[in-house]
Structure 1
Amino acid sequence: MMQPTDPSDRIVRRKLSDQVFDRLRDMIASGELPPGAPLPSERDLMERFGTGRPAVREALQHLHTMGLITISHGERSRVNALSADSVLSRVDDVARMLLSSEPDQLDHLKQARRMFECGLVRMAAQTATEDDVAELRDLIAAQRDCLGDAARFVTQDMAFHARIAAISGNPILVATSQSMLRWLFQYHGVLLHWSGNEQVTLREHEAITDLIAAHDPDGAVAAMQAHLDRSVGLYAHQNAQG
């Protein structure tokens, strides 16, 4: 008598829509359907895969949800061009839910950002060009012009940190930095603006930029650490502010 089989040995019947999804995803990954290309019509897909319209539509919706295609009513669906930023932006809603449902995760995010930003500023101090430094100084000047306007001040703050990440020339690092900033500032309602401390923020940004310009990695890291550590106690959830 045969012994009971291991659950992993069982053959699972997969939904037709999942199989259609896999085929379309493979066509996108292989380049058969390159970025910008229109997908075949629903009828063509039904004939090609031998399935009904519901399976095709469910597969297309799944691809759309993942950001692989764009569905436009009255037009053919098209393949999206993928980038590190477009991929990471897809988890924004999940990050917002995580931070809202588990407040302790905010501390973890701030710790991760501190480590990440210190690594980025070290790279910037090692490789920054005169143009990079000039752009950082322009961003500080633009942030100074935003004094009195909290929303614009925060936007320029994000732009300054994003520009430091951009010096790396690594699109994955840039996209990750921008995602962390979005999660902190937008989705969790965190503000880097607090009454009476804007000038301190500007001076710290200037000090960081000076150290990048001097190609002093250790000094730049220490300045960034002090900047972020000072900010930690001043983060506030928008909802708590009324």
Structure 2
Amino acid sequence: MEPVQKKKLYVEVLDRLMDAISTSEFPPGSQLPSEKELMNMIGVGRPSIREAMLALQQMGLIKISHGERARVINPTPDVIVDQISAAMIMMLATNPRGLQELKEVRLLLETGLVRVATRRATARDLERLAESIRQLQEARGDQTKFVAVDMQFHAIIAEMSGNSMIAAVSKGMLDWLSRFKRDLVALKGAERLTIEEHERIYKAIAAGDAEAAATAMAEHIDRANELYSKLKTSSQG
């Protein structure tokens, strides 16, 4: 049997502060007491307070600004996903399997998302998707802008789901993938195909055909994945 591990002092401080935040003793938007006040309240030294505060900031629960007391942040799905973005991008760049696994996640997530989006689509949603396709046509020849508008189309579909957690995860995933996607649109015919596929997805959503929309989305993502594989192979040859 393993012996009970004694917690480091800052971890105990962290637990106390997290409890206070979760029970709304310090609600989102409020400021935490100063370091000196916390030292007196909890009965620990400054190093433990500072380590605990740094951990809270890394978790996305507080914001520390120079010259001001730390402020509690509302931990929305967008904030949480943003907190892990840098680590995810690093993992994708260094883990040989990371990008492939993320693409598999994207295929599963977006085919499911577009089904939900089709069922919940409003006239305003369809207008936004149509406008995104127009912007995509206008962005031809500008790789950076084209990729940004491409991602925007998918982000709109994620928002149409009405689920803020799913939308945040989807937007984060699209941002991570976009760092590796810019070279794809430089391939001959890639822009034209992307526009045609977006139009096919849009028409299925507008027709209220969830299964056709999911099929069109799967074909769109599979084609992009194949292009990436070909580009990666040619660059290694």
Output the TM-score relative to the length of structure 2: 0.92
Matched, 1:129 2:111: no
Residues in 2 aligned to 1:221 and 1:61: alpha-carbon distance in whole angstroms: 43
Contact 2:147/2:181 (<8 A) preserved? no
The question of whether the paired residues in 2 share the 8 Å contact of 1:194 and 1:234 is answered with no
Among 1, 14, 20, the alignment partner of 1:27 is: 20
The count of corresponding residues between Structure 1 and Structure 2 is: 230
Q: Sequence identity of aligned pairs in percent?
A: 43
Give the whole-Å Cα distance in 2 for the aligned partners of 1:220 and 1:11: 54
Q: Of the candidates 59, 68, 73, which is equivalent to residue 66 of structure 1?
A: 59
Distance across 1 between alignment mates of 2:162 and 2:118: 13
Map 1:1-242 onto structure 2 (within 5 A): 6-7=1-2, 10-186=3-179, 189-191=180-182, 192-195=184-187, 196-235=189-228, 236=231
Contact 2:31 2:71 in 1 (8 A): yes
Query: 1:21 is matched by which residue type in structure 2?
Result: L
Which residue identity lines up with residue 63 of structure 1 in the other structure?
Answer: L
| Unmatched tracts of structure 2, length 5 or more | none
| Deviation for aligned residue 1:94 | 2.1
In the aligned structure 2, how far is the partner of 1:19 from the partner of 1:137?
53
Give the RMSD, CA atoms, in angstroms: 1.5
Q: Is the 8 A contact 1:143 1:157 kept in 2?
A: yes
**Separation of aligned partners in 2, 1:60 and 1:233:** 45
- Inter-partner Cα distance in structure 1 for 2:47 and 2:35: 10
Counterpart Cα distance in 2 of 1:99 and 1:72: 30
* Unpaired stretches in structure 1, ≥5 consecutive residues: 1-5
Which 4+ stretches in 1 moved above 6 angstroms? none
* Deviation sequence 1:75-117 (CA, Å, 0-9, x none): 1110111111111222212212222222222111111101111
CA distance in 2 between partners of 1:88 and 1:47 (Å) = 34
* 1:67–1:90 contact (8 Å) kept in structure 2: yes
- Post-superposition Cα deviations, 1:38-86, rounded to whole Å, max 9, x if no partner, equal 1101111000011111111111111111111111111111011111111
Distance 1:230 1:56 in 2: 51
The aligned counterpart of 1:3 is: none
2:181 maps to amino acid: V
Task: Tell me by how many angstroms 1:36 deviates.
Answer: 1.1
